[in-house]
Structure 1
Amino acid sequence: MATNPWTAAPAAEGSAHQYEGFIGWILNLMDTLGEPGVGVALFIETFFPPVPSEAVLPGAGFLAYSGEMNVWLAILWATVGGLLGAWGFYAAGALLGRDRTARLVRRTPLLEIEDFHKAERFFARFGGLAVLLGRCVPVVRSFVSIPAGIERMPLFRFSVYTVVGSAVWNTIWIGLGFAFGPAIEPVLLQWSGIISNLVIAVTGLLVLWFVLARLRKLARARRSEDTST
């Protein structure tokens, strides 16, 4: 009988415990918890964007390729994890409201109130489409839920848009990890530690660039105020 390539196959020789660094941690988490571990990883990614889903989801696809989990259940749990995280930000927006959220943004170092206003205008213009497409945009997918909560978008409608957008995103990336499993496995076995360090280094550089850019902007604004007085 022909086997279904989209269900768990006999375990491959490489185990998730053989991989090192950040990638090894992600694979070990999902390998230990199974498909629900994919949901846990996506839930963490919602609140901690430096753990990118673009690194988590292909790992789930790779584990499905190696026979560690079922690819369809991985997609399902990833979508559940994303939805639960989105509900958290939605609840924060609904509880805080526009004024308190704006005050929080103003008081948070390196955040600018104009960023908050841009997010509001984007949501006001596109509504549900902003939630749907926002689930496929890094970082945005975490925070697009806040204006939805502030505007009290009906929770059922918000959840439908979130599930559809998340399911599409998760299917693409998990599918890529599954499809390229034969090519990924030897690379991860030899280079997982180095790749993990590179991911952390790039993330750190991006955070540093953001901080320096905001500090320079704040310094220019202060100098402009000083010269105008």
Structure 2
Amino acid sequence: MTSSTTDTSWLGWLIDAVISLMDIIGPIGAGIAIALENLFPPLPSEAILPMAGIAAHDGAFGLWEAVAWTTLGSLVGALALYGLGAWLGLDRLRRIAHRLPLVDVSDVDRTVAWFRRHGGKAVFFGRFVPIFRSLISIPAGVARMPLWRFAALTTAGSLIWNTAFILCGWFLGSGWHIVEQYVDVVQNVVIVVVAVTAVVLVTIRIRSLRAKRGRDTASEASDTPTDELPVSSGR
């Protein structure tokens, strides 16, 4: 499989690198690329997976091999982040949060509590949400979700996601130029999503901290004793 893209952006370079990797080591290259995508969320699987489908269409390897290796790559990347969360643990994460600006220890406790209630759905459906599908593995490790359950849910969600995009590439086949036209679009969407998410989270956090300071100030003012005025005896 060879690329005809003339795109000089980082995403165009990424696609060329993935194609070269698949040319050298076949579907294992696609699996490695997807594992890295899990570890570095800005890398878009939406651009990588169709390349594996196109390569399978061109006979470089079988369709089932593309699905199997990319799903394995998703699982390996997710397990690495799960391990990071387990290594951090709740106590260590609290200490880190205490030192970070715009982060409160209670935020960590609420996140872990939320995950313990909805963790299964978050891990499975999170595989369909860019960036979130990587980050969700960390609280799974912190909350010590049973490893077999995490692996099963991750594999199931990844299998659906990967198969859908690989089939897109498979059906496109030689129509590589169709994908090429949308390289810049995918790149810009990824950048905008990351930037907007960061801005929204920081804004919400700053407002929350300001409101908390306001409540604390009001509470301190109400608790401050006032000087008692002398009472006249009336004489």
TM-score (ref. length: structure 1) = 0.73
> What is the CA deviation profile of residues 93-118 of structure 1, one whole-angstrom value per residue up to 9, with x for unaligned ones?
22222221222234333445455334
1:15 and 2:9 equivalent?
A: no
Alignment: residue pair count: 216
Residue 30 of structure 1 contacts residue 36 of structure 1 at CA under 8 Å; is this kept in 2?
Answer: no
Which residue number corresponds to residue 171 of structure 2? 179
Which residue number corresponds to residue 49 of structure 1? 41
Distance 1:19 1:68 in 2: 23
Which residue number corresponds to residue 226 of structure 2? none
Which residue number corresponds to residue 14 of structure 2? 26
Cα 1:189–1:170 change in 2 (3 A) is closer
Distance 1:112 1:181 in 2: 50
Residue 22 of structure 1 contacts residue 197 of structure 1 at CA under 8 Å; is this kept in 2?
Answer: no
Residue 18 of structure 2 contacts residue 48 of structure 2 at CA under 8 Å; is this kept in 1?
Answer: no
Residue 5 of structure 2 contacts residue 180 of structure 2 at CA under 8 Å; is this kept in 1?
Answer: no
Of all paired residues, the percent bearing the same amino acid is 39
The two structures, once aligned, show a CA RMSD in angstroms of 3.2
Distance 1:116 1:31 in 2: 40
> What is the CA deviation profile of residues 77-136 of structure 1, one whole-angstrom value per residue up to 9, with x for unaligned ones?
222222122212222222222221222234333445455334323332245444333323
Structure 1 residue runs without a partner (length 5+): 1-10
Distance 2:44 2:98 in 1: 26
Residue 106 of structure 1 contacts residue 112 of structure 1 at CA under 8 Å; is this kept in 2?
Answer: yes
Could you tell me how far 1:170 is from its partner in structure 2? 1.1
Distance 1:18 1:89 in 2: 34
Which is greater in Rg? 2
Distance 1:191 1:164 in 2: 28
Displaced runs of 4+ in structure 1, greater than 6 A? Answer: none
Cα 1:16–1:226 change in 2 (3 A) is farther
Distance 2:189 2:129 in 1: 22
Could you tell me how far 1:31 is from its partner in structure 2? 0.9
Out of 149, 153, 164, the position equivalent to 1:157 is: 149
Out of 132, 135, 147, the position equivalent to 1:140 is: 132
Cα 1:115–1:78 change in 2 (3 A) is farther
Residue 94 of structure 2 contacts residue 108 of structure 2 at CA under 8 Å; is this kept in 1?
Answer: yes
Residue 82 of structure 2 contacts residue 138 of structure 2 at CA under 8 Å; is this kept in 1?
Answer: yes
Residue 61 of structure 1 contacts residue 71 of structure 1 at CA under 8 Å; is this kept in 2?
Answer: yes
Distance 1:54 1:69 in 2: 20
Which residue number corresponds to residue 214 of structure 1? 205
Please show how residues 14-93 of structure 1 align to structure 2 within 5 Å.
15=3, 18-34=6-22, 35-65=27-57, 70-93=62-85
> What is the CA deviation profile of residues 157-187 of structure 1, one whole-angstrom value per residue up to 9, with x for unaligned ones?
322222122111211222233334566x334
TM-score (ref. length: structure 2) = 0.71
Which residue number corresponds to residue 87 of structure 2? 95
Cα 1:224–1:135 change in 2 (3 A) is same
Cα 1:190–1:86 change in 2 (3 A) is closer
Supply the AA of the counterpart residue of 1:26: L
1:124 and 2:112 equivalent?
A: no
